[in-house]
Amino acid sequence: MTINLDEIERLAKAAGGDKWTASDGVVWFDDGDSALQVMNPVPAFIAHDNLGTWPDAIDREDVALFAAAVNPAAILALIAEVRALREDAYRYRWLREQNSDYKSAWCVENIYNWVGEDLDAEIDKARGAA
């Protein structure tokens, strides 16, 4: 399965609202539009009782609570975390795949001089030169 983070990010931003709540199988969000004040909050999602009746029924309140928890703000935070983890993994894979001589020389010369973001920056710099 390929996850298109850019498209999911676009959709989450378009959906808007980060204060989603659930009650009685309905997900609500505050749209902040005073023109809709009489309807505020506006329902964003309604879970029906006939969700997944085989082999086990899915409780509509469980679905609504999940949908409210997976609001655009939560999705955007997850996307940011995935991107950061991918970058860290990319750094590790790059370092791991260097030949032993280069890796040994680079590590002995540099690894003890940097920590945290400084080490990330030096690996990124070396990746660009490799």
- Over residues 19-66, the pLDDT tens digits come to 777 777 777 776 544 333 334 555 666 655 555 555 566 677 777 788
Per the DSSP assignment, residues forming a β-bridge with 28 are 21, 43
- On whether residue 90 sits in a domain, the answer given is no
- On whether residue 40 sits in a domain, the answer given is no
- What range defines the domain where residue 120 resides? 98-130
pTM for this prediction: 0.67
- On whether residue 124 sits in a domain, the answer given is yes
Number of domains in the chain: 1
- On whether residue 22 sits in a domain, the answer given is no
Residue 105 pLDDT greater than 90, yes or no: no
- On whether residue 110 sits in a domain, the answer given is yes
Q: Once rounded to an integer, what is the mean pLDDT over residues 120-129?
A: 80
Establish whether the linkage from the previous residue to 41 is cis, with ω within 30° of 0: yes
- On whether residue 14 sits in a domain, the answer given is no
Could you tell me the CA-to-CA distances from 19 to 1, 16, 86 in Å, in that order?
29, 9, 28
- On whether residue 115 sits in a domain, the answer given is yes
- On whether residue 108 sits in a domain, the answer given is yes
